[in-house]
Amino acid sequence: MSRGPGGRADGRSVVAVAAWVLLSGSPAVRLSGQAFPTTPPKATRLAPVHFPPFKEATLPNGLALVVIEHHDQPVVSVSLAFRAGAIYDPAGKEGLSELTAELLSKGTPTRTAEQIAATIEGVGGHLSASSAEDFLTISVDALSDQVELVFDLLGDVTLHSTFPTSELELARTRSLSALALQLSQPGALAQRVFAREIYGRNPYGRSPTRDSYRAVTAEDVTQFARERLRPGGALLVVAGDVTDTQVRDLVAKAFAGWRGTPPAGPALPAPVTRVAPDILLVHRPGSAQANIVAGNPTILPTDPVYYAGRVAAQVLGGGADSRLFLILREQKSWTYGAYASLRRYRGLGYWQATAEVRTDVADSALVELLHQIDRIRTEVIPDSELTAAKGFLVGSFPLTIETPSQIASQVANAKLLGLGDDYLRLYRERLSAVTALQGRAAAARLFRRSALAIVVVGDGAKLYDRLKAIAPVRIVDVDGKALTPDDLNPPAAPLTLDPRQLESRTDSSQVVVQGRPLGFAVADITHVGDSVVYSEHAGMGNGMFDQRTTVVFSAADAAARRLDQVMIRQGTKVEGHLVYAGGRVKGNNLVPQPDGTVQQFPVDTAVPPGIVDENVAPLVGSALVLAPGQTVRLAVFTYVSVDSPHRVVKQEFVGQPAVIELVK
């Protein structure tokens, strides 16, 4: 404890002061002769945002140029945006725009991917490209004394990218791994399904799939870039310690001879029209929680009701002091967070309310969420909530235009969405002018209570009966296949194995992480009486991870009989030994504790019929006798050889970058 003037190290002087404060009873406690105010100060007048001036021009090739001179920091940020986002992906090749963006910086005739990265990173800069729903954007940031290099690289990757096939395969692998991770997360799955629900056949409702990623060819990428990355209709925003004349000279040099206009985009069909809300229940067996998303399409980006709608969404679920958060989390303890947001696209945007709640309160949480939507639509927002919401939105806006990169992003967004030249200058004033009546009117127009799309992702067997009391319920699995209520509790069917697929052999595989072999797995399959013994030794990282597993299971129906597993990770040993018999599993798990001791966790529980040990699930899956059209779902993506005996040649794990590939 620190010792102040005249203070004591034992803390008694602090206690004495605290007691005086508590017992004084004074309405305004005095310390050092100053009184603490009992009421908050009055709000001051809104200070103007000093947005740097910018100059605009449309170049002869149709490229729109915006230069924002901002000399406070010696940096420059450049953003080049094209109407080449995900809505321009051909049907069946969703993900094409995303892959094109990633490949733009992976090689030109004069620079390899490594050289491009080393060149910009060597000067402390950054170059990247990304694809959103409407636009594909190339961004470069660096110190302003490197502005010539910035434009040299920007012109090179824009005009001369070679889109190497080898890089396409790596990009595809990364996208497939990211997709697998996304599909394993109920919140991300709910968002994908929700977009499809509210937009239907409209491209805003589409999402990449494994098949669509695989359908994209190198020719598709090259043609997409050739057709859509054209100067006509594109927007180049340059912000930072530069001058307008300097930028114009650099643009003329970097993009000399660049011509052309992209073809017209696809006609966007109208989103789904609903006359009454219903619930789409996405059955995710075993989920401990339920993810709720509710909302509907809204307005075009230039609609002036946006400002009042933005305030209403903030009151409903914009942060920790919003209604949904305070009620569903703070009062009910049903969730860690519940939110509402208003999203703009170049076409029709949408609004949504979200919450991740415990399964046992999902119906109650949905009822409360719908009640709060009714309130914001029909009741005038109290002054306290209106003031707080506007104060947050208005007060946080300057934080979004502090750096050249932020300024470039804000200007690009305003220009691309057609929000008008005075949008950024008047944004705070327009929000500040929103009244309680305008907020209610905007909510009534935007939050269409009678036509909401409601998506709930969770364990359908536990949710269906609860949800059908609220609204009609449709059920699908995580792949979108329609289900019936009977499908939620399927009877356990006995498995039948083809003994020819389980002949004694040794399978040697390698563990590959992002294209690099980093480990091994050797599996021995032998027969002992009516049992199959599966023994596997796997290792990674030169002894950092070592695991030995033995599973004994029935050769007739795959029923597990015994499991012995020993894993050593970074010198720490974990063991598990289980015996399956009489419909139960018994045994022990031995787990080391932080104090160095080893704790034994006994296991004794019932085992439902049809359960297969996860360590041999891919092997068992390859040996099942299936009727035509019959399917089986595994926890990993498994590839099986066509020739008999069927061998597992590849395994991809949901949410993990590791892949196991058969070597021999």
**pLDDT, tens digit (0-9, with 9 covering 90-100), for 553-591:** 988 888 889 999 999 988 888 999 999 998 899 999 888
Per-residue pLDDT at 456 exceeds 90: yes
What is the pLDDT averaged over residues 186-196?
Answer: 95
29-70 tens-digit pLDDT: 454 556 667 777 776 666 666 777 889 999 999 999 999 998
The C-alpha atoms of residue 455 and residue 475 are separated, in whole angstroms, by 10
Q: Which residues contact 43 (CB under 8 A, 6 or more apart)?
A: 391
Q: Which of 183-197, 446-460, 464-478, 631-645 is the least confident region?
A: 631-645
What is the pLDDT averaged over residues 365-372?
Answer: 97
Per-residue pLDDT at 17 exceeds 50: no
Which of 8-22, 291-305, 479-493 ranks highest by mean pLDDT? Answer: 291-305
| Residues above pLDDT 90, as percent of the chain | 64
- The DSSP call for residue 549 is E
Q: What per-residue confidence (pLDDT) applies to 49? A: 67
Q: What per-residue confidence (pLDDT) applies to 379? A: 97
The C-alpha atoms of residue 310 and residue 447 are separated, in whole angstroms, by 12
Per-residue pLDDT at 189 exceeds 90: yes
Supply the mean pLDDT for the chain.
88
Per-residue pLDDT at 9 exceeds 50: no
Count of C-beta atoms within a 10 Å radius of residue 548: 14
Q: What per-residue confidence (pLDDT) applies to 50? A: 72
- At 588 the three-state DSSP class reads strand
Q: What per-residue confidence (pLDDT) applies to 541? A: 78
Q: What per-residue confidence (pLDDT) applies to 91? A: 93
Task: Write out the residue limits of the CATH 3.30.830.10 domain(s) in the chain.
Answer: 54-190+199-254, 278-287+297-356+363-488
What is the pLDDT averaged over residues 391-405?
Answer: 91
| Residue 198, strand partner residues | none
Sheet holding 453-458, edge to edge: 335-343, 350-358, 289-297, 453-458, 278-283, 473-477, 482-483
Count of C-beta atoms within a 10 Å radius of residue 205: 21
Q: What is the pTM of this model?
A: 0.76
Per-residue pLDDT at 373 exceeds 70: yes
- At 302 the three-state DSSP class reads coil
Q: Which amino acid is present at 106?
A: K
The C-alpha atoms of residue 295 and residue 448 are separated, in whole angstroms, by 8
Superfamily of domain 54-190+199-254: Metalloenzyme, LuxS/M16 peptidase-like (3.30.830.10)
Per-residue pLDDT at 527 exceeds 70: yes
What is the pLDDT averaged over residues 22-28?
Answer: 40
Per-residue pLDDT at 14 exceeds 60: no
| Residue 270, strand partner residues | none
283-325 tens-digit pLDDT: 998 788 999 999 999 999 999 999 999 999 999 999 999 999 9
CATH 3.40.980.10 fits 278-287+297-356+363-488, yes or no: no
Of residues 296, 479, 319, 428, the one with CA closest to residue 373: 296
